[in-house]
Amino acid sequence: MKRIKTIALVAPSGNIRNIDAVNNNIATLKKYFKVKKYYDENAQFRYLADCDENRARYFEKAFLDDEVDLVLSVRGGYGAIRIVDKINYNLVKNCSKYYLGSSDASILLMALTKKTKIKCFHSLMLMNGFVDNLDENINIVQNNIFDINLKPIIKKQTKGILWGGNLSSIVSMLSNDRYLPDKDIVLFLEDLNEPLYKIDKMFYEIYRSEKLKSKIKGLIFGDFYLADDEIMPLFEEFGALFNCGVYYSKDITHKITNKTIPCGIKIEI
């Protein structure tokens, strides 16, 4: 177990909208950890935290800093798709670090899990609740555990590598399979602000991806901010396309109740 002493903050996606709120959360982190910022809050570019080149280089530097134990995204939004191919994975592949993020950062979780030995976690970020459950989140990361409440939709023995994240972010990566898994996976998905028909469309984009579909040996549907009687029939219909166990958990969400879960570990349900 690697004890976390120093946390690096990165902003590989959307612009940092509220500097005061960011600094308040940093102040909370500083009560327990040394905190280092790998972004320039004054260099925001349109709806992005910085230009593509700077965001990619800051991201690399956070992992190359020997003092850093954990790298945490400030927020999601949009922008990771613009830098995912600009990151030098050979440079950081052997870094003994943790990386935590979700939402748009699901793209980076996918890439780092595939290309490096960095231990990745689907987690709340600095600006959407990570510090509000700090002890729990740090304990999960340090012990490489997860505990989410799963309800069966199709109950079958399910095992594979835990892999997934934000639905729209994952779908945006399907045009190039370089970051898709080579091993059998239990795919977990969540999203927000998407109407039912768009969720349906994106589910079928996954089904049409031969590379990804062939690896799916289990499905975990998270929170899509829709009523159960609206979304559950779609879960059942889409899940039935796969000969695997299908489960539901509201613990995978954009909300502050999101549970931190490790990516790339073997699980069996």
**Same domain flag for 193 and 223:** yes
Based on the fold, state whether residues 131 and 168 are members of the same structural domain: no
Domains in the chain, number: 2
Tell which of 80, 113, 143 closes a domain. 143
Containing domain of residue 183, as a range?
A: 151-268
pLDDT tens, N- to C-terminus, the chain (269 residues): 568 999 999 999 999 988 999 999 999 999 999 999 999 999 999 999 999 999 999 999 999 999 999 999 999 999 999 999 999 999 999 999 999 999 999 999 999 999 999 999 999 999 999 999 999 999 999 987 888 999 999 999 899 999 999 999 999 999 989 999 999 999 999 999 999 999 999 999 999 999 999 999 999 999 999 999 999 999 999 999 998 999 999 999 999 999 999 999 999 99
Indicate if 230 and 254 belong to the same structural domain: yes
The reply to whether 1 falls in a domain is no
Tokens of residue 60, six digits = 């690399």
Tell me, yes or no, whether 127 and 199 share the same domain. Answer: no
Cβ density class 199-227: b for 16+ within 10 Å, e for less:
beebbebbeebeebeebbbbbbbbbbebe
CATH number of the domain bearing residue 92: 3.40.50.10740
Tell me: do 98 and 224 sit in the same domain: no
DSSP 45: B
> 138 with 173, same domain?
no
Query: How far apart, in whole angstroms, are the C-alpha atoms of residue 42 and residue 50?
Result: 9
Residue 49 lies in a domain: yes
Going by DSSP bridges, is the β-strand pair 151-154/245-248 parallel, antiparallel, or unpaired?
antiparallel
Of 92, 119, 143, the position where a domain reaches its end is: 143
One-letter amino acid for residue 172 of the chain: S
Residue 18 lies in a domain: yes
In this structure, the answer to whether residues 22 and 138 fall within a common structural domain is yes
pTM: 0.95
